[in-house]
């Protein structure tokens, strides 16, 4: 078990290294440079450009920059973000909590809604309501995610005034407990917009798994033992969690793409925006640092999902 | 949907309360400015964006500032700031500034002449990448005569000498002189700048928000609003919605549909003002892949004129802006001192382009109606910046109109960085360019000058080069008489318009949205924030929670 | 072990798919106006649906119905091609990994994981901002090239499962060479899995194209696509509902249909 | 509980399935007194399992009871029970042992938890449940109940799982125990132990037993009465299915029965203790297995009985000469199939070597291995599943010829037809799809396919297990002929002592 875990972590490290070096190279190959700041404003002379690039070593060949970057990272230094005028580490520290909050709440919300709902739908697959919910779930999945988010901004936030338009807290709003509530208030719509498609997928997967499981022999055994409907359902659910947990592992990688759109629309001060803007601004160290953190998060999340998968299905002995 | 003229709608608005008092009373609430762009960088030597200018000019005072009539020539149009007074040398090649004795940095240190020297040094350090560097090439050096006297030496006499000096913001030498070369951007100072302006930086979350607090003991008096906050929403729709929802107070430039929408929000006041930006389609005079060679098509003035004639700019502008933009007359906006509204544009004409192109041998037609010559279609590649929704939309309309003239316009829409790289590399046939002008004619020099002189032609994407144009501008700047200067510049405008260096598209007439609880002074079109310190709350309007005076200093 | 009779996709679904294909092919012929033609930007922009413009007009006064009809082939074509590319790449990598074994499998799967861990949007952004707007085929290629990983994992898993079955072991012991093993034994057995993966890839590519259009990375202007018709509303969904509602309904309908096909295929082949 | 009332009384029990017109069970009547045992036999598809489920009210979705169904448990009328009422009855008063033990156990819960849960549901303390759990597992022949209890079902062998299910069913000392094929996965010794345990349950706790099996011998041995179920109807009188001619009652159609005779088994074991050098393999042996260890890294569904050891095969050595037939025998779970798979390189070996005609099989890979496979062929245990289901019989056989370059196209088809004819496959069926063939026909196709490449050694894994006696006889004759005419060496894995005795002069017990 421990060896498998270590091997898994080793694989994770390889994945992270591959992701970071790919992004590192890709963004440096894209035209434009970090010191090009504004669309039409006075442009710098070639000499100024060269001086700036040289000051940060961007005039060196990419492999050399990469080796330097690796050395830098090894010594805990992530570089300087040009587009945000702050150290990359500070930028990540400032945006990571917001994104973690958003993703965590959205994930909990998604699976908290999706799994019970899907389990119910699967157990009562013949119920007309279950079929109706399934239809709704497919529609939610089919609607482009940004439209859902925009609708949330237009409807509940702007037209009905129930929620703030964007951002993470009210400018000069309350502090302390009130501040916390304020954050929750701001969080509600983006988290929901991020969670809905995931919840729909989770519900459909859970529904299918539950539907397949409910007639399994071991569920019959639960009844034959003297278990009631609840116990049977519990036994079925325990075994039917596997596909949903597999999905949860992949979901995290997808969620990073999702937050890019959601954070943009809701002006949420998180890493999705940081990465998006970093790419647009050709902020090399920021993108590399952001991708590093994002891939660490993804790898850890996948690992977590795998552990949960082992729990749900002990037959998956080896951590693949 | 019948659309009433938006301009008529705006005219029907109650006139702005004239309030020209420069200082507002203390405690004039909190102004939240909603914006899509991060102000960074916002130090005077390195600022680039409009929001960056806004923050830098609230944080730092210049030596002198251009006055309300926006005349950049000579000295009549300038008002003192950190410099209480100035004196010309007999040969007019130097100006000696005497600093205001009350002027202090936010940390309490006096502003000294050395700070002026530091200000120029930071601009001149190439590794700082100051966009101002190209604007102040006529300054030779700055000498600190004594603690409160700084003398600026110029290479040559020019109508805009004082304007050049106004671009050099004194910077606190006691904090910055120890910086290594190119170290301004990464310095601790850039994170926590110490300025001399009416506001100090209180808080900054990059790309999210920035909060400025009033400097209580400012040498020009305490500014009105206690706090000015910028809240940044990457999606403009969200940013504008914040103003509708009273989460923010100001949006500087509303798109026309939102001007209509604003009427649904009674707390929003619309403020129309004169624009300082213009948009054009510049022709590339050089071959896209080889800047040494002339462009195979567009180097021919007849083609440029034909393409210009083929565009119905009035229709295009109405489609894009309703009535909230003027057709552009040349490389200037109407609010400029040098503006010349008598210039006759190359008229829209459906027949003339066909005749010209026929005579040039573009007689064949593809199935889609695109003209052919020797089997090759008449195709142009347009570089369009994706971040500018207006220019993307304009490109689609231009594409459609040129298609009718048998010209195939391929829209190459790129994100800012890639757009910049392609534009600077001359990799395009036409480029949808834009330019935020200033009162001075420096923009004219750098955007359309040939680059034969220092500071000229830096922005000249299409590499238009006209000796007549250059010499007219140079003559104008050399004159000491503002009227002569203006006449020469106007003559230069006529030259470049006749040359059809670009299709002059539009100059928008911006409309700002501002919360009604503020009583506004006159809206400075080129820099509306300059009067922000004199905003005050309307005592009749209900204040919002955020207007309560902040408890922490 | 006998296979259950494969369920066929039912007639209604087939008819609907056929209808969509026909509409897509005939789209340009049916369009009442040229899809890129700005009819009268001053007077006819943002016209709500009327007898003249059944689905209204957009901000450039282009007929939405015409754009919708012609856009179908761009949206569906891109999605179809992207799904095809993803299918081919994913099957190749998944099969390769499962058959290569040991460190080669490990390496391939680590690369797959790495690509999966890379936010797809950022990769697309990097590619698109680097090169400017992509042509349709290039766009589909990029979408496919960034979307094959789940298929690869699925195929690898299924291949590994198949390799442990008696049928495949029988073929191996018989001495069937690897190439023939793939073409004669694995691919036929993988077919249902691949069909489901392909419909899934297609169903996810349709809304993705729309999402990219919102970020300005989708089908290049002025070519219409369902995604960029919606994006034309520039976020003003409520006042310009007609440019949002119809293409969205079409996207949702297409995805629902693809799901239905996938469901039929899955249920038909469940063991 | 009244002593006069029977433990279980069924009257007019009928079951229909939605969609199916006829009754799956029709007017079933029987009664079962305290401590009595009733055997129900019948061919597969007769409704045996449905009967068991119907008694517990656990009919699958879509099934309905016919009008007039009456089931009484002592004085309790079961038909009136609601969900809660059933909960109190099931597991405590009527318990059930399901047919497929792997599927009947929850895959993600440890054995202990699954069994203790029964006690919990019926008011036992966990302590008491645990005590009974240990006792029950010991009764079922587990030497180390604790270790078994801490495993997941997939970590157990089929036989172990079956016994675990029995222990679970016995936990509450039910009044009625319904056991559906409770011994199919067991080897003969275990089967007897389980039979004894059931008998003890009857004796000690007065449990009435309803034993369902297709194995009449078992029913005869363990039940007071045996009835037969055919087409959903219970035959009035216990029917004795006429045993197939030539097969004694003891050696019933299932191969396990033969092994049940301890004498036969001992005799086989004693016959040859394998030594490193076999006397009649003085020349270079065709196959040499040296100190072979094979184990599973991850105990999987098919994992054999691995009580006490991780390796399925430990330090196994033997040789096989050209043209020789070696029988491999052993109880289920001894590793017979594992040995075949290890030799065929379908499983990695832990230690030791497999040398085929001078080549260490572990040392080659890729193309050389593939070419060697031509000489080393296999007829899998479930021969039908090892064939490409969607191909025709002749195509499946021709493939073996084509991949080894023996013949191509039409020639390959012709040769394939000849091979099929050689193994006695009906010529009319050569173009029929494999999945339309019967088990015996597929077995022949599998053998023909394996013969195609012209192997020197054929490994036959239970070639007769799934065949009826007539077919069995044919296949054995075929193998005999092949040995004689082709000089084929055979590694014959079988439960069937008759087959072994007939073909293999030498036997390797596992």
pLDDT in tens, B486-530: 999 999 999 999 999 999 999 999 999 999 999 988 888 888 999
Which of A216, A219, A223, A236 is closest to D56 using CA atoms? A223
User: Using CA atoms, how far apart are residues C146 and C116, in angstroms rounded to an integer?
Assistant: 8
Please indicate whether, in this complex, the C-beta atoms of B545 and A44 are within 8 angstroms of each other: no
User: Using CA atoms, how far apart are residues D284 and A319, in angstroms rounded to an integer?
Assistant: 44
**Mean of pLDDT values over B62-83:** 90
User: Three-state DSSP class for A115?
Assistant: helix
In this structure, is residue A16 part of a structural domain? Answer: no
pLDDT reading at A108 higher than 90 = yes
Q: What's residue A87's pLDDT?
A: 92
Q: What's residue C132's pLDDT?
A: 64
What's the gap in Å between the CA of B422 and the closest CA on chain A?
8
pLDDT reading at C270 higher than 50 = no
In this structure, is residue C125 part of a structural domain? Answer: yes
Q: Cα torsion at D200, D202, D206, D210 (round to 10°)? A: 160
pLDDT reading at A31 higher than 70 = yes
CA of D374: which chain C residue's CA is closest?
A: C175
Q: Which of A62-66, B112-116, D65-69, D311-315 has the lowest mean pLDDT?
A: D311-315
**Mean of pLDDT values over D473-494:** 86
Which of D240, B1, B412 is closest to A31 using CA atoms? B412
In this structure, is residue A40 part of a structural domain? Answer: no
pLDDT reading at D103 higher than 90 = no
pLDDT in tens, D286-328: 899 988 888 654 443 333 344 334 567 778 889 898 888 898 8
User: Using CA atoms, how far apart are residues C137 and A43, in angstroms rounded to an integer?
Assistant: 35
In this structure, is residue C93 part of a structural domain? Answer: yes
The string over C90-125, giving b where at least 16 C-beta atoms fall within 10 Å of a residue's C-beta and e elsewhere, is bbebbbbbbbeeeeebeebbbbbbbbbbbbbbbbbb
pLDDT reading at B144 higher than 90 = yes
Q: What's residue B473's pLDDT?
A: 94
User: Using CA atoms, how far apart are residues C146 and C139, in angstroms rounded to an integer?
Assistant: 11
Which residues from D are below 8 Å from A314, CB to CB? 107-108, 152, 154
In this structure, is residue C66 part of a structural domain? Answer: yes
What's the gap in Å between the CA of D181 and the closest CA on chain A?
15
Which residues from B are below 8 Å from A30, CB to CB? 417-418
Beta-carbon contacts of D184 under 8 Å, excluding residues fewer than 6 positions away, are D99, D162, D213, D215
In this structure, is residue C11 part of a structural domain? Answer: no
Compute CA distances A201 → A61, A111, A137, whole Å: 45, 9, 7
Q: Is B318 on the interface with C (CB under 8 A)?
A: yes
pLDDT reading at D258 higher than 60 = no
pLDDT in tens, B451-484: 878 778 888 989 999 999 999 999 999 888 888 9
What residues 104-143 of chain D have any CB closer than 8 A to a CB of chain A? 104-109, 117-118, 121-122
Please indicate whether, in this complex, the C-beta atoms of B261 and C221 are within 8 angstroms of each other: no
Gap between the terminal Cα atoms of chain C: 10
Beta-carbon contacts of C156 under 8 Å, excluding residues fewer than 6 positions away, are C93, C94, C95, C97, C98, C105, C109
φ, ψ of residue C202 in degrees (nearest 5): -65, -45
pLDDT reading at B540 higher than 70 = yes
In this structure, is residue A18 part of a structural domain? Answer: no
User: Using CA atoms, how far apart are residues B532 and B538, in angstroms rounded to an integer?
Assistant: 15
In this structure, is residue C13 part of a structural domain? Answer: no
Residue positions counted in chain D: 510
**Mean of pLDDT values over C68-80:** 89
Let me know if chains D and B touch, i.e. at least 3 Cβ pairs under 8 angstroms: no
What's the gap in Å between the CA of C263 and the closest CA on chain B?
38
* Structural domain span for residue A135: 88-312
Encoded tokens for B35: 């914006």
pLDDT in tens, D422-469: 888 888 888 888 878 877 788 889 989 998 888 999 998 888 776 777
Which residues from D are below 8 Å from C184, CB to CB? 388, 399
Helix A128-142 to helix C187-214 angle (10° resolution) is 60
Q: CA-based diameter of chain A, in Å?
A: 84
How many domains are contained in chain C? 1
Confidence band for B331, pLDDT divided at 50, 70 and 90: very high
Percent of chain A predicted with pLDDT > 90: 29
Q: What's residue A319's pLDDT?
A: 39
* Structural domain span for residue C79: 20-27+52-264
Q: What's residue D248's pLDDT?
A: 33
Please indicate whether, in this complex, the C-beta atoms of D117 and A315 are within 8 angstroms of each other: no
Identify the residue with better confidence: C235 or B406.
Answer: B406
In this structure, is residue A4 part of a structural domain? Answer: no
Which of C139, C137, C118, C148 is closest to C216 using CA atoms? C139
Identify the residue with better confidence: D495 or B61.
Answer: B61
| Cβ atoms B533, B24 nearer than 8 A | yes
Q: Is D442 on the interface with A (CB under 8 A)?
A: no
Please indicate whether, in this complex, the C-beta atoms of A142 and C252 are within 8 angstroms of each other: yes
What's the gap in Å between the CA of A176 and the closest CA on chain C?
34
What is the 8-class DSSP label of residue D253? S
Beta-carbon contacts of C146 under 8 Å, excluding residues fewer than 6 positions away, are C115, C120, C123, C124
φ, ψ of residue A269 in degrees (nearest 5): -80, 65
In this structure, is residue C119 part of a structural domain? Answer: yes
CATH of the domain at A235: 1.10.3720.10
Name the residue with tokens 């132990």: D193
Q: What's residue D257's pLDDT?
A: 34
Q: What is the average pLDDT value for chain B, to the nearest integer?
A: 89
pLDDT reading at C90 higher than 80 = yes
In this structure, is residue C6 part of a structural domain? Answer: no
Give the best residue of A16, A147, A166 to mutate against chain C (max C CB count within 10 A).
Answer: A147
Which residues from A are below 8 Å from C230, CB to CB? 144, 147
In this structure, is residue A63 part of a structural domain? Answer: no
Confidence band for B22, pLDDT divided at 50, 70 and 90: very low
pLDDT reading at D251 higher than 70 = no
Beta-carbon contacts of D461 under 8 Å, excluding residues fewer than 6 positions away, are D336, D337, D340, D378, D379, D380, D381, D493
| Claim: this prediction has a pTM higher than 0.90 | no
pLDDT reading at C51 higher than 90 = no
pLDDT reading at B1 higher than 50 = no
In chain C, DSSP finds a helix count (H) and a strand count (E) of 11, 0
What residues 53-72 of chain A have any CB closer than 8 A to a CB of chain B? 54-55
In this structure, is residue A183 part of a structural domain? Answer: yes
In this structure, is residue A79 part of a structural domain? Answer: no
List, in sequence order, the alpha helices (H) in D20-176.
Answer: 48-56, 83-89, 101-104, 111-121, 126-139, 145-149, 158-170
Percent of chain D predicted with pLDDT > 70: 83
**Mean of pLDDT values over B21-40:** 75
| Cβ atoms B210, B217 nearer than 8 A | no
Which of B50, B91, B546 is closest to B276 using CA atoms? B50
Confidence band for A318, pLDDT divided at 50, 70 and 90: very low
User: Using CA atoms, how far apart are residues B488 and B470, in angstroms rounded to an integer?
Assistant: 11
Please indicate whether, in this complex, the C-beta atoms of C222 and B417 are within 8 angstroms of each other: no
Please indicate whether, in this complex, the C-beta atoms of B418 and A32 are within 8 angstroms of each other: yes
Question: What beta strand segments (E) does D333-488 contain?
Answer: 351-356, 359-360, 376-379, 457-461
User: Using CA atoms, how far apart are residues D89 and D96, in angstroms rounded to an integer?
Assistant: 12
Q: What's residue D275's pLDDT?
A: 40
pLDDT reading at B25 higher than 60 = no
Q: Which of B258-272, C256-270, D352-366, D487-501 has the lowest mean pLDDT?
A: C256-270
Q: How many CA atoms lie within 13 A of D354 on its CB side?
A: 19
Compute CA distances B516 → A158, B108, B241, B243, B270, whole Å: 19, 36, 16, 11, 9
Q: What is the average pLDDT value for chain D, to the nearest integer?
A: 78
What's the gap in Å between the CA of D450 and the closest CA on chain C?
7
User: Using CA atoms, how far apart are residues B398 and D421, in angstroms rounded to an integer?
Assistant: 80
In this structure, is residue A64 part of a structural domain? Answer: no
pLDDT in tens, D279-289: 444 467 889 99
How many domains are contained in chain A? 1
What's the gap in Å between the CA of D433 and the closest CA on chain A?
30
Q: Does residue B41 have a cis peptide bond before it, meaning omega lies within 30 degrees of 0?
A: yes
Which residues from D are below 8 Å from C172, CB to CB? 346, 373
pLDDT in tens, A250-299: 777 777 778 888 898 888 999 988 888 898 888 999 999 998 998 888 88
Beta-carbon contacts of A153 under 8 Å, excluding residues fewer than 6 positions away, are A165, A166, A189, A265, A266, B237, B238, B241, C235
The string over B146-185, giving b where at least 16 C-beta atoms fall within 10 Å of a residue's C-beta and e elsewhere, is eebbbbbebeeebbbbbbbbbbbbbbbbebbeebeebbbb
Beta-carbon contacts of A176 under 8 Å, excluding residues fewer than 6 positions away, are none
Encoded tokens for C224: 């219409």
CATH of the domain at C194: 1.10.3720.10
pLDDT reading at B5 higher than 60 = no
Q: What's residue D266's pLDDT?
A: 39
Give the best residue of B137, B181, B247 to mutate against chain A (max A CB count within 10 A).
Answer: B247
Confidence band for D504, pLDDT divided at 50, 70 and 90: confident
Compute CA distances B470 → B254, B496, C119, D362, whole Å: 36, 10, 50, 85
User: Using CA atoms, how far apart are residues D104 and D161, in angstroms rounded to an integer?
Assistant: 9
Q: What's residue A11's pLDDT?
A: 84
Q: What's residue D47's pLDDT?
A: 79
In this structure, is residue C44 part of a structural domain? Answer: no
What's the gap in Å between the CA of C153 and the closest CA on chain A?
11
**Mean of pLDDT values over C4-8:** 49
Q: What's residue B139's pLDDT?
A: 94
């Amino acid at each position: 078990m421990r060896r498998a875990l270590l091997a898994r972590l080793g694989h994770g490290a390889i994945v992270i290294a591959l992701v970071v070096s790919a992004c590192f190279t890709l963004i440096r190959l894209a035209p434009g440079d970090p010191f090009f700041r504004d669309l039409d404003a006075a442009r710098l002379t070639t000499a100024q450009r060269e001086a700036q690039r040289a000051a940060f070593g961007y005039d060196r060949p990419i492999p050399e920059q990469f080796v330097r970057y690796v050395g830098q990272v090894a010594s805990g230094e992530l570089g300087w973000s040009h587009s945000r005028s702050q150290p990359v580490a500070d930028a990540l520290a400032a945006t990571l909590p917001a994104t973690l909050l958003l993703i965590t709440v959205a994930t909990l919300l998604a699976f908290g809604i999706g799994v019970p709902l899907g389990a119910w739908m699967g157990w009562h697959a013949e119920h007309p309501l279950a079929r109706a919910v399934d239809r709704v779930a497919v529609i939610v999945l089919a609607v482009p995610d940004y439209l859902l988010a925009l609708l949330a901004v237009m409807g509940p936030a702007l037209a009905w005034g129930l929620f703030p338009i964007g951002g993470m807290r009210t400018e000069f709003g309350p502090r302390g407990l009130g501040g916390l509530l304020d954050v929750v208030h701001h969080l509600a719509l983006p988290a929901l917009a991020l969670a809905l498609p995931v919840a729909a997928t989770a519900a459909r997967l859970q529904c299918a798994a539950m539907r397949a499981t409910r007639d399994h022999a071991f569920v019959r055994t639960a009844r034959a033992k003297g278990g009631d409907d609840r116990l049977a359902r519990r036994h079925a659910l325990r075994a039917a969690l596997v596909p949903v947990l597999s999905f949860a592992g992949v979901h995290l990688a997808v969620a990073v793409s999702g937050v890019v759109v959601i954070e943009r629309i809701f002006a949420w001060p998180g890493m999705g925006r940081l990465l998006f803007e970093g790419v647009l601004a050709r902020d090399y160290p920021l993108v590399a640092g952001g991708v590093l953190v994002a891939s660490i998060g993804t790898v850890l999340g996948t690992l977590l999902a795998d552990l949960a998968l082992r729990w749900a299905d002990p037959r998956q002995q080896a951590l693949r | 949907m019948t659309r009433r003229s938006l301009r008529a709608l705006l005219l029907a608005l109650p006139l702005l309360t004239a309030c020209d008092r420069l200082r507002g009373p203390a405690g004039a609430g909190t102004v939240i400015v909603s914006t899509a762009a991060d102000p960074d960088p916002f130090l005077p030597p390195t600022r680039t964006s409009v929001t960056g200018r806004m923050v830098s000019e609230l944080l730092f005072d210049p030596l002198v500032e251009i006055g309300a009539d926006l005349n950049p020539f000579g000295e009549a149009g300038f008002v003192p700031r950190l410099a209480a007074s100035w004196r010309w040398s007999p040969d007019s090649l130097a100006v000696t500034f005497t600093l205001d004795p009350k002027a202090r940095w936010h940390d309490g240190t006096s502003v000294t002449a050395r700070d002026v020297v530091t200000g120029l040094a930071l601009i001149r350090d190439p590794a700082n990448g100051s966009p101002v560097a190209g604007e102040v090439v006529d300054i030779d050096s700055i000498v600190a005569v004594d603690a409160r006297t700084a003398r600026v030496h110029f290479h040559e006499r020019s109508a805009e000498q004082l304007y050049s000096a106004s671009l050099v913001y004194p910077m606190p030498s006691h904090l910055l002189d120890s910086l290594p070369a190119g170290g301004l951007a990464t310095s601790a100072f850039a994170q926590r700048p110490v300025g001399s302006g009416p506001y100090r930086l209180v808080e900054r979350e990059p790309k999210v928000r920035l909060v400025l607090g009033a400097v209580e003991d400012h040498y020009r008096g305490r500014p009105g609003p206690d706090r000015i906050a910028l809240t940044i929403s990457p999606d403009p729709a969200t940013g504008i919605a914040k103003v509708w929802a009273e989460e923010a107070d100001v949006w500087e430039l509303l798109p026309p549909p939102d001007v209509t929408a604003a009427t649904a929000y009674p707390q929003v006041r619309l403020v129309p003002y004169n624009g300082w930006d213009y948009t054009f389609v510049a022709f590339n005079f050089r071959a896209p892949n080889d800047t040494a060679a002339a462009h195979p098509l567009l180097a021919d003035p007849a083609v440029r004129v034909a393409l210009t004639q083929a565009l119905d700019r009035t229709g295009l502008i109405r489609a894009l802006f309703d009535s909230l933009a003027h057709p552009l007359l040349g490389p200037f906006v109407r609010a400029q001192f040098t503006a010349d509204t008598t210039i006759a544009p190359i008229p829209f004409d459906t027949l003339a382009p066909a005749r010209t192109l026929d005579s040039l041998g573009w007689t064949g037609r593809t199935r889609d109606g695109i003209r052919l010559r020797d089997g090759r279609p008449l195709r142009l590649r347009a570089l369009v910046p994706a971040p500018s929704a207006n220019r993307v939309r304009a490109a689609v309309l231009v594409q459609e109109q040129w298609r009718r003239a048998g010209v195939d316009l391929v829209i190459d829409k790129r994100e800012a960085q890639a757009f910049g790289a392609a534009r600077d590399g001359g990799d395009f046939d036409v480029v949808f360019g834009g330019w935020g002008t200033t009162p001075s004619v420096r923009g004219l020099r750098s955007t359309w000058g040939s680059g034969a002189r220092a500071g000229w032609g830096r922005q000249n994407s299409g590499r238009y080069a006209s000796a007549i144009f250059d010499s007219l501008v140079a003559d104008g700047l050399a004159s000491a008489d503002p009227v002569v200067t203006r006449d020469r510049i106007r003559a230069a405008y006529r030259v470049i318009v006749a040359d059809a260096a670009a299709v002059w598209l539009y100059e928008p007439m911006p409309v700002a949205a501002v919360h009604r609880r503020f009583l506004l002074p006159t809206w400075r079109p080129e820099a509306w924030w300059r009067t922000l310190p004199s905003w005050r709350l309307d005592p009749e309007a209900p204040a919002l929670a955020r207007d309560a005076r902040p408890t922490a200093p | 072990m006998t296979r259950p009779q494969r369920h066929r996709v039912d007639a209604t679904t087939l008819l609907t798919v056929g209808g969509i294909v026909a509409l897509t092919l005939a789209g340009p012929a049916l369009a009442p106006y040229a899809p890129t033609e700005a009819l009268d930007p001053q007077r006819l922009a943002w016209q709500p649906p009327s007898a003249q413009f059944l689905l209204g007009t957009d901000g450039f006064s282009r007929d939405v119905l015409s754009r919708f009809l012609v856009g179908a082939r761009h949206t569906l074509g891109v999605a179809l091609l992207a799904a095809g590319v993803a299918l081919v790449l994913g099957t190749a990598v998944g099969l390769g990994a499962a058959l290569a074994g040991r460190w080669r499998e490990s390496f391939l799967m680590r690369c797959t994981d790495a690509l999966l861990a890379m936010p797809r949007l950022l990769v697309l952004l990097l590619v698109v901002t680097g090169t400017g707007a992509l042509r349709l085929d290039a766009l589909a290629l990029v979408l496919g090239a960034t979307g094959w990983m789940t298929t690869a994992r699925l195929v690898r898993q299924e291949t590994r499962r198949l390799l442990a079955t008696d049928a495949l072991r029988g073929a191996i012991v018989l001495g069937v060479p690897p190439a023939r093993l793939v073409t004669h034994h694995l691919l036929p057995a993988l077919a249902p899995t691949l069909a489901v993966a392909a419909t899934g890839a297609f169903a996810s590519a349709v809304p993705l194209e729309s999402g990219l259009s919102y970020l300005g990375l989708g089908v290049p202007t002025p070519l219409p696509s369902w995604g960029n018709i919606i994006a034309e509303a520039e976020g003003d969904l409520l006042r310009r509902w007609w440019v949002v509602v119809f293409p969205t309904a079409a996207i949702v309908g297409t995805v629902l249909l693809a799901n239905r096909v996938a469901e039929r295929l899955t249920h038909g082949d469940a063991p | 509980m009244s002593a006069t009332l029977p433990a279980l009384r069924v009257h007019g029990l009928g079951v229909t399935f939605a969609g199916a017109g006829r009754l799956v069970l029709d007017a079933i009547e029987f009664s079962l007194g305290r401590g009595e045992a009733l055997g129900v036999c019948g061919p597969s598809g007769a409704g045996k399992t449905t009967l068991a489920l119907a008694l517990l009210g656990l009919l699958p979705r879509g099934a309905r009871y016919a009008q007039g169904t009456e089931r009484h448990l002592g004085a309790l009328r079961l038909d009136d029970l609601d969900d809660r009422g059933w909960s109190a009855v099931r597991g405590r008063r009527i318990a059930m042992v399901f047919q497929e033990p792997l599927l009947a156990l929850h895959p993600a819960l440890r054995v202990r938890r699954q069994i203790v849960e029964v006690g919990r549901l019926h008011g036992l303390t966990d302590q008491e449940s645990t005590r009974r759990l240990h006792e029950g597992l010991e009764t079922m022949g587990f030497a180390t109940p604790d270790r078994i209890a801490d495993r997941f079902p997939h970590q157990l062998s089929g036989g172990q799982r079956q016994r675990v299910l029995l222990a679970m069913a016995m936990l509450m000392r039910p009044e009625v125990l319904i056991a559906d094929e409770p011994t199919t996965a067991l080897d003969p010794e275990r089967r007897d132990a389980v039979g004894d345990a059931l008998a003890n349950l009857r004796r000690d706790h007065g449990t009435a037993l309803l034993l369902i099996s297709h194995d009449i011998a078992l029913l005869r041995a363990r039940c007071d009465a045996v009835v037969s179920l055919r087409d959903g109807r219970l035959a009035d009188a216990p029917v004795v299915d006429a045993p197939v001619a030539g097969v004694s009652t003891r050696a019933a159609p299932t191969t396990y029965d033969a092994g049940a005779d301890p004498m036969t088994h001992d005799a086989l074991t004693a016959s040859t203790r394998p030594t490193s050098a076999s006397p009649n393999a003085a020349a270079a042996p065709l196959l040499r297995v040296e100190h072979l260890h094979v184990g599973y890294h991850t105990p999987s569904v098919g994992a054999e009985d691995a009580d006490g050891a991780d390796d399925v095969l430990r330090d196994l050595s033997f040789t096989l000469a050209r043209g020789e037939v070696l029988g491999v025998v052993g109880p289920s779970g001894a590793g017979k199939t594992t040995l075949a798979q290890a030799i065929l390189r379908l499983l990695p070996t832990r230690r030791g070597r497999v040398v085929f005609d001078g080549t260490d099989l572990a040392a080659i890979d890729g193309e050389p291995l593939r070419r060697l496979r031509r000489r080393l062929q296999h007829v899998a245990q479930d021969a039908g599943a090892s064939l490409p289901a969607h191909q025709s019989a002749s195509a499946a056989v021709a493939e073996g010829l084509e991949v080894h370059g023996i013949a191509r196209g039409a020639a390959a088809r012709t040769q394939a037809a000849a091979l099929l004819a050689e193994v006695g496959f009906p010529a009319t069926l050569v173009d029929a799809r494999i999945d339309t063939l019967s088990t015996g026909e597929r077995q022949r196709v599998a053998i023909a396919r394996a013969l195609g490449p012209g192997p020197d050694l054929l490994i036959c894994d239970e070639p007769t297990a799934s065949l009826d006696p007539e077919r069995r006889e044919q296949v054995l004759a075929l193998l005999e002929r092949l040995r004689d005419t082709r000089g084929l060496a055979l590694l014959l894995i079988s439960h069937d002592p008759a087959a072994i005795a007939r073909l293999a002069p030498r036997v390797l017990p596992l």
